[in-house]
Amino acid sequence: MNFTQMHERLRLELLRRIQRGTVSVSLLARQTGLGQSHLSNFLHNRRQLSLEAMDRVLAAQHLTAADLLPAMHQAAALPADGESSMIPVVSHAAALFEPYIRPSAVQSMLHLPAGVLQTIRTRVSNHRRAWQRFVAVRIPAADALPMEPLVLPDAIALIDRHYNSLMPYRPDRPNLYAIRHGSHLTLRYVDFLSNRLVLRPHNIAFPVDLIEVDPGKSPGDLIAGRIALILNEP
């Protein structure tokens, strides 16, 4: 990875943190001693930061250069037998909001047989194409209950973040999605009616939820991705 790529990953990470409300331009200026206009130009991709300025931003946000690398760089350092693919298992927040999974965000690695992912088809909106495609999350018991027995407590769900379309992957069965519900990730079947996402559980004892899609947004903005694989504990 070259300097320009790391520079862009830092910009996107800061924009993500601003969107989530964990930092602001004014706070970042106070933390780093850099001017707000200088930082604003950087965030809007109108100028780059010097190496010294990048170091200040990284230190202020408790980041390292390694955090700007995709998780696959960390995977490359792990023992590999050439017969598996390694997918980062991350928090729900990272799966929802992080375009690139930082090594420090990786909780563990999921090993899958070689070739499992190669034939999976995509349907992705343009702004999502640059995101790291596959991530996995663990589903706690409370989140698994509405989807039982399809999803059991402590299951691992593989999310294809390059499939955020409502088009059926297979014509004879509904897609299961990871959905952003507020700041929470939830697994549901999804329909789109009257500018609302209709979230349907597998377990009919649980209610159907509705999410209003804001003006100017699309349903795909709330879809983290299609669940491509579920691994339930034996």
Are residues 131 and 94 located together in one domain of the fold?
Answer: yes
Same domain for 121 and 46, yes or no, is no
Task: Please check whether residues 64 and 150 belong to one and the same domain.
Answer: no
| Res 231 pLDDT > 50 | yes
Q: Lowest mean pLDDT: which of 48-57, 82-91, 172-181? A: 82-91
Residue position matching structure tokens 């490359």: 76
Position 68 pLDDT exceeds 80: no
Domain extent for 46: 3-68
Residues whose CB falls within 8 Å of the CB of residue 166, separated by 6 or more in sequence, listed in order: 175, 190, 191, 192, 219, 220, 223
Q: What is the pLDDT of residues 26-58, one digit of tens each?
A: 999 999 999 999 999 999 888 888 889 988 998
Sheet containing 134-139: give its strands across. Answer: 108-113, 84-89, 134-139, 155-160, 223-231, 176-181, 184-193, 196-200, 209-212
Domain holding 45: CATH number? 1.10.260.40
- Provide the angle, in degrees to the nearest 10, between the axes of the packed helices 51-60 and 3-20: 40
